[in-house]
Chains A and B, each alone.
Chain A
Amino acid sequence: RKEVEQDPGPFNVPEGATVAFNCTYSNSASQSFFWYRQDCRKEPKLLMSVYSSGNEDGRFTAQLNRASQYISLLIRDSKLSDSATYLCVVKRDDKIIFGKGTRLHILP
């Protein structure tokens, strides 16, 4: 079993819709959590950190449930420019471990 699991998608969503991604992690010793975004044939870039109380950055909301070892990302009012792969990332001790990513296509 992979340490960080994500639905690979693709999610095909009409522009303006709300979309949610989920991620589970297997190691309860994981300490910090993040979402990265990767555009096609580009490098990954940090989208946002995920805090236990949940946090919001504009149209993006991240949630963490430590008891269920579950992380989510919600995108409201999706834009064409949101089309990308979203990577769930977990930090455990000194290691930063990436999920395989969920592909999102926003349809005009």
Chain B
Amino acid sequence: DAGVIQSPRHEVTEMGQEVTLRCKPISGHDYLFWYRQTMMRGLELLIYFNNNVPIDDSGMPEDRFSAKMPNASFSTLKIQPSEPRDSAVYFCASSARFTTGELFFGEGSRLTVL
């Protein structure tokens, strides 16, 4: 069975450029989460969706970040304009049984902003 699929796996861009990260959750999962991981701050929850609706975006750092989930099988995280401090690994995770706390993570998108 296919797991959570993220793209791109690696992205190197210059400051000021737009970055779009993509995620395909596991089919049938109704929760989708975006996390960011850095050495300094660990894994931070940015936003999560339930049935394609954003529930909590309080972790989104600032207006430069936006996330959408147009349908049950696709989500994007966009950074515009990007800054060097956005460099991190961005993980997407999905869950079918939210109350158990078991999240299935994608392999992550490693972003470097020069």
Q: Which of B25-59 contact A (CB under 8 A)?
A: 33, 35, 41-43, 45, 48, 55-56
Q: When the two chains form their complex, are residues A43 and B55 in contact, meaning their CB atoms are under 8 A apart?
A: no
Question: Whole-angstrom distance between the alpha carbons of A99 and B41 in the complex?
Answer: 9
Q: When the two chains form their complex, are residues B56 and A43 in contact, meaning their CB atoms are under 8 A apart?
A: no
Q: Which of A82-98 contact B (CB under 8 A)?
A: 87, 89, 91, 94-98
What total of A-B pairs shows CB separation below 8 Å? 44
Q: When the two chains form their complex, are residues B91 and A43 in contact, meaning their CB atoms are under 8 A apart?
A: yes
Question: Whole-angstrom distance between the alpha carbons of A101 and B35 in the complex?
Answer: 15
The one of A42, A91, A99, A101 in contact with B101, judged by C-beta atoms closer than 8 angstroms, is: A91
Binding stretch for chain B, among A44-52, A54-62, A72-80: A44-52
Most chain B C-beta atoms within 10 Å of own C-beta, residue among A44, A45, A87: A44
> Inside 8 A of B45's CB, which chain A residues have their CB?
95-98
Size category of the binding interface on chain B: 20 to 34
Most chain A C-beta atoms within 10 Å of own C-beta, residue among B43, B45, B103, B105: B43
**How far, in Å, is A5 (CB) from chain B's closest CB?**
11
The one of A94, A97, A100 in contact with B55, judged by C-beta atoms closer than 8 angstroms, is: A94
Q: When the two chains form their complex, are residues B42 and A100 in contact, meaning their CB atoms are under 8 A apart?
A: yes
**How far, in Å, is A36 (CB) from chain B's closest CB?**
8
> Inside 8 A of B42's CB, which chain A residues have their CB?
98-101
